[in-house]
A = this chain, B = another copy of it.
Amino acid sequence: MKDKTRILVTGGDMRQIYCAEKLSAVYDTYVMGFPAGSIPEKTNLKQAVTDSNGFYDFVVLPVPPLDENGSISAPFSDTEINPDTIRKLLKPDGVVFVGKYDKKLSDIFPDNKIIDYMKCEDLSLKNAIPTAEGAVEIALNELPVTLNGLEVLIVGMGRIGTSLAEILKGFGSNITVAVHNEKGSAKARMAGIRPVFTDKMDTDYKLVFNTVPEMIFNTDLLKRFSDDTLFIDLASKPGGIDFKSATILGKKVIWALGIPGKTAPVTSGEFIAETIAGIIRERSFS
């Protein structure tokens, strides 16, 4: 028996469609702003009803929710989606899910609860998987050598570092993890990886993944690496690799952000749906 809860999913890229598709297995789910061809053939999704005020219990906005004009960010849509339209369609006590909180949203939806799903711990944990896979994809595409037998440094043993280590063990890379403290060291050992402390790390690596949002790779440190070392920075801005120094020194650096949506939009959209469904369930909204 299907849940009667009505959800409107609007804006965003392919992720948003797969999020809607997954939600539609449980909830009465509507989409707005996607061309017909982008929606799966066999689907429970319905085109949004746009003339019934207070129709939806929830609205799901994308990552990020708004574009530079203050409209709903909707790269696939031919027409602009006005956030005020969305507010009217939402029930007075309806909830807004957004992919990254933006101050303007509080002005647009003054009476509604706004929940940033990107801040949920289980989504961060899950997103570590597509992020690590995307980072390895980049490395495979860029490097003229095999990952097998390669000297690889992972900086940080958090979620993404742990996921990377797991994948690279399968490739048979020679992995070292740079950590800040005994806790990081313990986590590395648990994963069967050799830890070194960040301030004592050597530089004989051909591939470096940075996952720590602290400036670690400054001019001095960068100079000590070989010119053909590939750096992939996965840390959120400002990242851990000095952009200016790396450019001057001619280092090969790839700043890789927002990987999940690019490399695995289906999985990534489904993760968002699972998180939203989890919140709806736990709060006994439904």
Given contacts A122-B185, A169-B192, contact A264 B129 (CB under 8 A): no
Docked-complex contact B189 and A129, CB < 8 angstroms: yes
Taking CB as reference atom, which chain B residue is nearest A188? Answer: B172
User: Any chain B CB within 8 A of the CB of A204?
Assistant: no
How far apart sit A173 and B183, CA to CA, in the bound complex (Å)? 19
Q: What per-residue 1/0 map shows which CB atoms of A114-131 lie under 8 Å from chain B?
A: 000000011001101110
Bound state CA distance, A189 and B130, in angstroms?
Answer: 11
C-alpha spacing A186/B278, complex, angstroms? 13
Flag A175-213 by CB within 8 Å of B: 1 or 0 each: 000000111011101111110000000000000000000
- Integer count of this chain's copies in the complex: 4
Provided the pairs A170-B168, A192-B166 are in contact, do residues A183 and B264 lie with their beta carbons within 8 angstroms?
Answer: no
With A and B bound together, what is the CA distance between A163 and B192 in angstroms?
9
Given A143-B264, A264-B144, A266-B144 in contact, is the A166-B183 Cβ separation under 8 Å? no
Residues of B within 8 A of A186 (CB): 122, 125-126
Query: Which B residues lie within 8 Å of A191 (CB)?
Result: 166, 172
Q: Are B264 and A171 touching (Cβ within 8 A)?
A: no
> Quick check: is A245 within 8 A (CB to CB) of the other chain?
no
Restricting to A208-230, which residues have a CB under 8 Å from any CB of B?
none
CB distance from A185 to the nearest CB of B (A): 7
**Is A249 in contact with chain B by the CB < 8 A criterion?**
no
Q: Do A190 and B125 touch across chains, with their CB atoms under 8 A apart?
A: yes
Chain B residues whose CB sits within 8 angstroms of the CB of A264 once the complex forms = 143-146
Offer 28 A-B interface pairs, CB within 8 angstroms, sorted by A. A14-B144, A122-B181, A122-B183, A122-B186, A125-B183, A125-B186, A126-B189, A133-B146, A133-B147, A137-B137, A137-B140, A137-B141, A140-B140, A141-B141, A145-B264, A145-B266, A146-B264, A148-B189, A148-B192, A148-B267, A149-B189, A166-B170, A166-B192, A168-B170, A172-B190, A172-B193, A174-B194, A182-B278
